Chains A and B, each alone.
Chain A
Amino acid sequence: MSNTVELPRWIDVGALPLLNLLLALLVSALVVLAIGENPIKVVEILLYGAFGYDEAWGYTLYYTTNFIFTGLSFAVAFHCGLFNIGAEGQAYIGGLGVTLAALYLDFLPFPLMLVVGIMAAAIFGAAWAYIPAYLQARRGSHIVITTIMFNFIASSLMVYLLVNVLRPQGSMTPESERISENLTLPFIHDMAASFGIDMASSPLNLSFVYAIAASVLVWLFIWHTRWGYAIRTVGANAVAATYAGIDPGRYIIIAMMISGALASFMALNEVMGVQHRLLIDFTAGYGFVGIAVALMGRNHPFGIFLAALLFGMLYQGGAELSFEIPTISNDMVVVIQGLVILFTGAMEHMFRPRVTKMYTAWRLRRDRMEAA
């Protein structure tokens, strides 16, 4: 018997995240005021920069694509009770898989290449996630520690590979050869053009569609298959899982490998979609921000989509902001993004107890009035 009533869904997934977001924006406004700029103007530029014109939309959704993948990655592991901080490394290694496939299997026709690219990314990302997963499942090494370490290992490994192995002869930059042009993902504006629709050019590409598809698949997997059921059981109550004959270790490994594969799809967007080669540090922190995206989206694909859109907006609008207002440097934009992550992700539970209390009091009064 608890002392409070449960919050209705609209507060839990709607009002609370919104409240956290507003607080983040309020504190950001104070910071903006402190450096002598007008917060209202900043918000205007931010919104215009993110949604104000065609090209802006394209960029916003391009960033959103990355956040959807890393957010989904975190969510799947989280449903199994695992805090996977390793999306960064898993995506990085996934990028290696995509690049190798595109460079060495360049004789494949594009549709087949797309499938092979997705598979290569998934296999590499999942394999990288497998090791910490195995250590957690069978040796009890904590997943948070091992995935952090594996981010560092991935980073070092990729530097080595890019400098010593993948760098074309004569090149001075640590990046791989370009992949063949007919193997890259089509840009959305090019696809639109072939239907006679005129769109501003942007990095938004086919992987955005795949991100939406992946969201639907994750939703089906988690809530509508017996494997998803098993994963949720392990995450919520490992003892009950054992009682039911569900081996928690097995599902920890499965969930982590799926998580690693989802993270690695970010490389489809970056490597096959936009950069067309493997760049050093191309993951650029998307893996970490994915944690905030998933937490804000309550680990539900639809929520993750909305949260990813928000962060896509912050990234694109933020870039515009530092361009438009020189006193707001790129670092300032990072501060604002950081505040949003802080309030929506890390301090997610700040308002919850108070809101729950208020809601409980309101419900009690209503119940009593109804009874009277």
Chain B
Amino acid sequence: MHQMHGAGETGAVQPAIELRGIDKRFGAVHANKEIDLKVEKGTIHGIVGENGAGKSTLMSILYGFYQADAGTIHVDGKLCDIKGSEDAIAVGIGMVHQHFMLVETFSVLENVILGVEGGAVLRDGVDKARVELKRLEREYALDIDPDAIVGDLSVGLQQRVEILKALYRGAEILILDEPTGVLTPQEADHLFRILNTLKEQGKTVVLITHKLREIMAATDNVSVMRQGAMVADRKTAQTSPEELSELMVGRKVLLRLEKGAANPGATVLAVNNLCVDNAQGIHKVKNATFTVRAGEIVGVAGVSGNGQSELLEALGGIRAVCEGSVTLNDQDVTPGKGVDAAELRRRGVAHVPEDRHRMAMVTGFSAKEAAILGYENDPAYQKGPLLDWHAISDATAHMMSEFDVRPDNPDLKAANFSGGNQQKLVLAREIMRDPELLLVGQPTRGVDIGAIEFIHKRIVAMRDAGKAVLLVSVELDEIMSLADRILVMCDGAIIGEVSAAEANERVLGLMMAGVDPNEAKAKAAEGQA
């Protein structure tokens, strides 16, 4: 199974990529510390590390977005000066970004030839491209219609268009940045099959991810980054998830949170037949009905984009609902009819939104300004008609010490905190109001492992204090370790509920793909047998 491609020491085969002493600073941040990396030709090479470990910076240097302060890049043994993505493409490096760079209204073919149309008249280029595209699809079993409109394709297929784009430009080395973040487990498996085909055809794949499961399943070699440094290179067959996660964090972490049994009380939140439309009038949430009781954490699992965001935003009073009702402690709080985010806050609903930068804070504000967002009318923060910045500063300092926000400077610009510390500040702002109901979306997105543990503990502490918690996350591990009950959403509908005890990745994965819960459980059991 595992082939020993890594006989590079003999000198017979040059590595596909060799980085020597790559060093990069952003102001005070030392993002890459003298990184050495060898990627052997014809292998799948994983790069793992926490968020902020410097993986993306390293790949951006390789792809020419940034210039290294020091160090050299060698492709196929030749020294390369990569000043921009054109240079990277010229030496055969292709990149599939986390966020796709596609024109949604164009066809697959049009997207693929974008920028390499070959001449002023489109037709010749298009005809040539069509032939080439057919060949690539056959060779790599990509299975995609060149005339389909990209906007109509599923996320998994759009990703294949990105891969196709890179291959069409003659990529011999393909870099994928967190490619499975938007995929169902089944789609991810398909992607890994494609990557294997690419490998068999002699291409080299670099896979950046923070998901250890994927590294174990898909790669030949793996390099681990921690705090800007390359700390280990391993053959995947000779390592384990436990070893890798230790290397990533530098200490042993509890992957599964220790928590006691839930002790649910009265119903706090009751959602009945809720429908939410997006701006285009398309149903994003369809007839959702569920309850959250005091003293329990209800998790909402689903592939991102299946209505969880809209559900959370509606419950937070940001989005109007078009049908159905919401009650909080038996009082009607259906958003839209005079109930907005401010009213919900007054009634004891705290909301940690999914998107920290877009919604939870104003990045240009100072920490103390960020710490009163949503609570700026609180009488404790006023002195006559003016804001009492002393009181606000003290309150912010208190939040910072309670939630271990570093640096603990209320005057520092919010944008200058790391993602984890920004998130802790947002959580502090919402949790320290002692709400009845905590709505929390992707609480640990872009947060390092040390902070994840802390944040999870605070959420469980909320539950143990008898509060109701609704947790939306696309991280199955997070949902499974935190939630007492798990609702699965697919295409806007809640297709089933699983108790934490009977949840596993396979069942949830099948349900997330729209398989009926009972069928999913049966299938999952079958698979295990």
B224 CB–A CB distance under 8 Å: no
Residue of A2, A243, A364 ringed by the most chain B CB atoms within 10 A: A243
| Contact pattern, A 1-20, Cβ under 8 Å of B = 1, otherwise 0 | 11111100000000000000
- B361 partner residues in chain A, CB cutoff 8 A: 240
User: A2-B26, A226-B382, A229-B376 in contact; A245/B359 too (CB < 8 A)?
Assistant: no
On whether the beta carbons of B358 and A245 are closer than 8 Å, the reply is no
- A247 partner residues in chain B, CB cutoff 8 A: 340
A245: which of B29, B343, B362, B385 is its contact (CB, 8 Å)? B343
On whether the beta carbons of B359 and A3 are closer than 8 Å, the reply is no
B341: which of A225, A243, A364 is its contact (CB, 8 Å)? A243
- A237 partner residues in chain B, CB cutoff 8 A: 358-359, 362-363
- B360 partner residues in chain A, CB cutoff 8 A: 240, 243
Kindly state the separation between the CA atoms of A227 and B243 in the bound complex, as whole angstroms: 53
A259 CB–B CB distance under 8 Å: no
| Contact pattern, B 157-199, Cβ under 8 Å of A = 1, otherwise 0 | 0000000000000000000000000000000000000000000
User: A224-B389, A236-B364, A236-B365 in contact; A364/B25 too (CB < 8 A)?
Assistant: yes
Kindly state the separation between the CA atoms of A228 and B271 in the bound complex, as whole angstroms: 36
- B362 partner residues in chain A, CB cutoff 8 A: 232-233, 236-237, 240
A349 CB–B CB distance under 8 Å: no
Nearest opposing residue in chain B for A230, CB measure: B376
- B345 partner residues in chain A, CB cutoff 8 A: 245
On whether the beta carbons of A226 and B373 are closer than 8 Å, the reply is no
Nearest opposing residue in chain B for A245, CB measure: B342
User: A240-B373, A243-B360 in contact; A5/B27 too (CB < 8 A)?
Assistant: yes
Nearest opposing residue in chain A for B343, CB measure: A245
Kindly state the separation between the CA atoms of A246 and B363 in the bound complex, as whole angstroms: 17
On whether the beta carbons of B351 and A363 are closer than 8 Å, the reply is no
| Contact pattern, A 195-228, Cβ under 8 Å of B = 1, otherwise 0 | 0000000000000000000000000100011100
Kindly state the separation between the CA atoms of A363 and B28 in the bound complex, as whole angstroms: 9
- A360 partner residues in chain B, CB cutoff 8 A: 27
Residue of A2, A225, A226 ringed by the most chain B CB atoms within 10 A: A226
Nearest opposing residue in chain B for A2, CB measure: B26
Residue of B26, B316, B369, B376 ringed by the most chain A CB atoms within 10 A: B376
On whether the beta carbons of A243 and B353 are closer than 8 Å, the reply is yes
- B121 partner residues in chain A, CB cutoff 8 A: none
User: A229-B376, A363-B27, A367-B28 in contact; A243/B359 too (CB < 8 A)?
Assistant: yes
**Which interface class (under 10, 10 to 19, 20 to 34, 35 or more) fits A?**
20 to 34
For window 1-47 of chain A, which residues contact chain B by CB distance below 8 Å? 1-6
| CB of B64, distance to nearest CB on chain A (Å) | 13
- A284 partner residues in chain B, CB cutoff 8 A: none
On whether the beta carbons of A226 and B376 are closer than 8 Å, the reply is yes
- A364 partner residues in chain B, CB cutoff 8 A: 25, 27
Nearest opposing residue in chain A for B67, CB measure: A3
A164 CB–B CB distance under 8 Å: no
On whether the beta carbons of A245 and B317 are closer than 8 Å, the reply is yes
On whether the beta carbons of A224 and B386 are closer than 8 Å, the reply is yes
| CB of A264, distance to nearest CB on chain B (Å) | 23
Kindly state the separation between the CA atoms of A364 and B343 in the bound complex, as whole angstroms: 48
| Contact pattern, B 273-313, Cβ under 8 Å of A = 1, otherwise 0 | 00000000000000000000000000000000000000000
Nearest opposing residue in chain B for A242, CB measure: B318
- B381 partner residues in chain A, CB cutoff 8 A: 226
| CB of B519, distance to nearest CB on chain A (Å) | 38
- B29 partner residues in chain A, CB cutoff 8 A: 1
| CB of A85, distance to nearest CB on chain B (Å) | 24
User: A229-B369, A244-B373, A363-B27 in contact; A1/B386 too (CB < 8 A)?
Assistant: no
| CB of A100, distance to nearest CB on chain B (Å) | 31
Nearest opposing residue in chain B for A228, CB measure: B387
- B340 partner residues in chain A, CB cutoff 8 A: 245, 247
Residue of B66, B318, B373, B389 ringed by the most chain A CB atoms within 10 A: B373
On whether the beta carbons of B66 and A3 are closer than 8 Å, the reply is yes
Residue of A1, A6, A242, A367 ringed by the most chain B CB atoms within 10 A: A1
A239 CB–B CB distance under 8 Å: yes
On whether the beta carbons of B318 and A243 are closer than 8 Å, the reply is yes
Query: Which secondary structure dominates chain A's binding surface?
Result: helix
Nearest opposing residue in chain A for B24, CB measure: A3
| CB of B92, distance to nearest CB on chain A (Å) | 26
Kindly state the separation between the CA atoms of A52 and B385 in the bound complex, as whole angstroms: 43
- B365 partner residues in chain A, CB cutoff 8 A: 232-233, 236
- A2 partner residues in chain B, CB cutoff 8 A: 26
Kindly state the separation between the CA atoms of A306 and B446 in the bound complex, as whole angstroms: 43
Kindly state the separation between the CA atoms of A247 and B318 in the bound complex, as whole angstroms: 10
Q: How many residues of B contact A (CB 8 A)?
A: 41
Kindly state the separation between the CA atoms of A2 and B282 in the bound complex, as whole angstroms: 36
B150 CB–A CB distance under 8 Å: no
For window 173-191 of chain A, which residues contact chain B by CB distance below 8 Å? none
Kindly state the separation between the CA atoms of A185 and B340 in the bound complex, as whole angstroms: 47
- A240 partner residues in chain B, CB cutoff 8 A: 358-362, 373
| CB of A257, distance to nearest CB on chain B (Å) | 18
Nearest opposing residue in chain B for A229, CB measure: B376
B374 CB–A CB distance under 8 Å: yes
On whether the beta carbons of A3 and B26 are closer than 8 Å, the reply is yes
B17 CB–A CB distance under 8 Å: no
- B373 partner residues in chain A, CB cutoff 8 A: 233, 240, 243-244
- B28 partner residues in chain A, CB cutoff 8 A: 5, 367
Nearest opposing residue in chain A for B66, CB measure: A3
- B344 partner residues in chain A, CB cutoff 8 A: 245
| Contact pattern, B 308-337, Cβ under 8 Å of A = 1, otherwise 0 | 000000001110000000000000000000
Kindly state the separation between the CA atoms of A360 and B69 in the bound complex, as whole angstroms: 13
- B317 partner residues in chain A, CB cutoff 8 A: 245
B377 CB–A CB distance under 8 Å: yes
- A244 partner residues in chain B, CB cutoff 8 A: 341-342, 373-374, 376
For window 349-372 of chain A, which residues contact chain B by CB distance below 8 Å? 360, 363-364, 367
On whether the beta carbons of A229 and B26 are closer than 8 Å, the reply is no
Nearest opposing residue in chain A for B365, CB measure: A236
| CB of B125, distance to nearest CB on chain A (Å) | 35
Kindly state the separation between the CA atoms of A1 and B364 in the bound complex, as whole angstroms: 14
Kindly state the separation between the CA atoms of A237 and B356 in the bound complex, as whole angstroms: 12
Nearest opposing residue in chain B for A226, CB measure: B376
B474 CB–A CB distance under 8 Å: no
B459 CB–A CB distance under 8 Å: no
| Contact pattern, B 38-56, Cβ under 8 Å of A = 1, otherwise 0 | 0000000000000000000
| Contact pattern, A 243-284, Cβ under 8 Å of B = 1, otherwise 0 | 111110000000000000000000000000000000000000
| Contact pattern, A 114-153, Cβ under 8 Å of B = 1, otherwise 0 | 0000000000000000000000000000000000000000
Residue of B29, B341, B343, B345 ringed by the most chain A CB atoms within 10 A: B341
Residue of A5, A229, A363 ringed by the most chain B CB atoms within 10 A: A229
B358: which of A5, A6, A230, A239 is its contact (CB, 8 Å)? A239
- A232 partner residues in chain B, CB cutoff 8 A: 362, 365
Nearest opposing residue in chain A for B351, CB measure: A243
| Contact pattern, B 1-43, Cβ under 8 Å of A = 1, otherwise 0 | 0000000000000000000000001111101000000000000
A1: which of B31, B342, B363, B382 is its contact (CB, 8 Å)? B31
Nearest opposing residue in chain A for B342, CB measure: A245
On whether the beta carbons of B386 and A220 are closer than 8 Å, the reply is yes
On whether the beta carbons of B343 and A229 are closer than 8 Å, the reply is no
- B363 partner residues in chain A, CB cutoff 8 A: 237
On whether the beta carbons of A239 and B359 are closer than 8 Å, the reply is yes
B57 CB–A CB distance under 8 Å: yes
Kindly state the separation between the CA atoms of A5 and B381 in the bound complex, as whole angstroms: 32
The 9 A-B residue pairs whose C-beta atoms are closest, nearest first, are: A245-B342, A245-B341, A244-B374, A5-B27, A236-B362, A224-B386, A243-B359, A226-B376, A237-B362
> Could you write out 12 A-B pairs with CB less than 8 Å apart?
A5-B26, A6-B413, A225-B387, A229-B376, A232-B365, A239-B358, A239-B359, A240-B358, A240-B362, A242-B318, A246-B376, A364-B27
16 new A-B contacts at CB < 8 Å, known A236-B362, A237-B358: A4-B27, A5-B27, A225-B386, A226-B376, A226-B382, A230-B376, A237-B362, A239-B359, A240-B358, A243-B360, A243-B373, A244-B373, A245-B341, A245-B343, A246-B342, A367-B27
